[in-house]
Amino acid sequence: MSKKVGLTDARIVGLLPPKIGQIEITDSIVAGLRLRVGASGVKTYILRKRIGSKVHNVTLGRHSLGFGLAAARRRARDLLTDIEQGQSIPKRSDPNRGYAQGIGTIGELFETYLTNEVIGKKRTAREIERVFRKYILPEMGDRIADTVTRGDVTRFIEKMAFGRGKETLRMARSVHQHLSSFYSWAMPKLDRLPAHPCRDAWRPKASKPRDRVLSDYELGQLWDASLSEGYPFGTVVRLLILTAQRRGEVINAEWDEFDFQANLWTIPGSRAKNGVANIVPLSAQAVSIIEEIRGMVASSSNEIGLSGNRVFPAIGNPAHSTGGMPKGWRRIMAAVLRDTDRNILHFTPHDIRRTAATGLQRLGVPLVVSEAVLNHQSGAAKAGVAGVYHRHKYTVEKQEALRLWGNEVQRIVDAHAVVKNRGTSWMIAQS
């Protein structure tokens, strides 16, 4: 039964389900677009198209906040354009097919994907679920999985990339990657889908690697700002500078990873980005910071939260948890920019690591040793057959490299203090 009335958002919201069977409401804007309402209350968009003597019905998806009338019209128009250009129309997809088994829509399939394939991948599970729930499911969660085309994916990714500015290009690429992995897993279950919809769909090109390196002046400014910020985030930044390790590796450091007799910090493979354990010799400057934290632990009570195995636990205040690092970094950057009259371009915590690597090269540290400090599994010394047999850990060499870098950071910080004091003295004299 089809009601010859137009579709509007208000009409759809107010629609009551029939007591038995189903009803269809025809759209007055896009030819062939209909809304099917069943006795259960489920509202499903379909496209009905006659080709020759056959009438084809294509399920577009369930009505939801993420897939409303406007989206259904766009989808219907795209399908009609494909048909006009000679492309084959998808076979009819029963909107109820597979729902009982939890398969049918992308959203339903994702829950199975999450349970069977994602959970257990400790390093990526949280990010995969976040990307799906924040970006993919609101837009495509109600789409029947085996009706999604290359054009659908392209339009979705383009919207992601350009809808809110160039800064979303990286996220659009990440969304494409996660959606593609999902479909690689789902394809054997989707016997009506002729081809992987992400394989030839458009995606943003990979961005060029960043090459931002801080000048000595910028490094001095950052050090001062980190001192003003204090524990925990300012302390984290100073250790990032001195150790050249990754932000997550520093933030999640545990006390039992440190050998205070040998002044060594061993980052276990379970916490390293590449899964390879890394021995980090601690310079005198880094040891001083670690000992400062140990002093805080020794003198504190459990009330302020410095007990336990974490070097950077929350200090009673949720704002001090490691999850607050982005806000802490913004405060530090604000201080860097506020306390200077120079034009300083934006930089990130990862740029600190690149700055340390560049500093090691400037000090004459061999590239293979710099790579070992950074725990990079690349470079000529570890490529090809050489990499299979190359097991030298470079602990002694890394110790000397980080000693030199610690002294260099100290020199930069001291010189920066002199420059700032000169400026302050000049301003006092002028007043």
pLDDT digits (tens, 9 = 90+) for 29-68: 888 899 988 777 778 888 888 877 777 778 888 887 667 8
Q: What are phi and psi of 327, to 5 degrees?
A: -65, -40
Q: Which residue did the predictor score with more confidence, 244 or 84?
A: 244
Which amino acid type is present at position 136? I
> Predicted confidence band at 383 (pLDDT cuts at 50, 70, 90)?
very low
What pLDDT score does 143 carry? 84
Q: Is the pLDDT of residue 1 over 50?
A: no
What pLDDT score does 278 carry? 93
What pLDDT score does 264 carry? 96
Q: What are phi and psi of 304, to 5 degrees?
A: -100, 5
**Percent of the chain topping pLDDT 70:** 81
Structure confidence by residue, pLDDT tens digits, 123-171: 577 788 889 988 898 888 878 888 899 989 999 998 888 765 545 788 8
Q: Is 277 helix (H, G, I), strand (E, B) or coil?
A: coil
- Whether the CB-CB separation of 373 and 244 falls below 8 Å is answered with yes
Structure confidence by residue, pLDDT tens digits, 176-231: 999 999 999 999 888 888 889 999 898 888 766 678 899 999 999 999 999 999 98
Alpha helices, DSSP H only, in 191-232? 216-229
Q: d(Cα 30, Cα 45) in Å, to the nearest integer? A: 12
Q: Is the pLDDT of residue 411 over 50?
A: yes
pTM: 0.55
* DSSP 8-state assignment for residue 144: B
Q: d(Cα 373, Cα 179) in Å, to the nearest integer? A: 35
DSSP secondary structure of 91-110: PP--TTTTGGGT-SBHHHHH
Q: d(Cα 391, Cα 381) in Å, to the nearest integer? A: 10
**Percent of the chain topping pLDDT 90:** 34
What pLDDT score does 386 carry? 41
> Predicted confidence band at 431 (pLDDT cuts at 50, 70, 90)?
very low
For range 365-394, the mean pLDDT: 68
What pLDDT score does 321 carry? 52
What pLDDT score does 396 carry? 93
Structure confidence by residue, pLDDT tens digits, 260-281: 999 999 999 888 877 889 999 9
Structure confidence by residue, pLDDT tens digits, 306-331: 557 888 875 444 444 556 788 889 99
What pLDDT score does 94 carry? 39
Q: What residue segments make up the domains of the chain, in order of their start? A: 2-84, 99-189, 216-430
Which strand ranges, in their side-by-side order, compose the sheet holding 2-3? 2-3, 22-26, 33-38, 43-51, 54-62
> Predicted confidence band at 428 (pLDDT cuts at 50, 70, 90)?
very low
| 2-84 and 216-430, same CATH topology | no
Q: List, in sequence order, every beta strand (DSSP E) within 188-281.
A: 258-259, 264-267, 278-281
Question: What fold characterizes domain 216-430?
Answer: hpI Integrase; Chain A (1.10.443)
Residue 146 neighbours by CB under 8 Å, 6+ apart: 90, 93, 190, 191, 192, 193
What pLDDT score does 141 carry? 84
What pLDDT score does 51 carry? 79
User: Which of these CATH numbers, 3.40.50.720, 3.40.50.300, 3.30.160.390, 3.65.10.10, describes 2-84?
Assistant: 3.30.160.390
Tell me the pLDDT of the chain averaged across its residues.
81
Residue 263: how many other CB atoms lie within 10 Å: 17
Q: Which residue did the predictor score with more confidence, 145 or 386?
A: 145
Which amino acid type is present at position 64? S
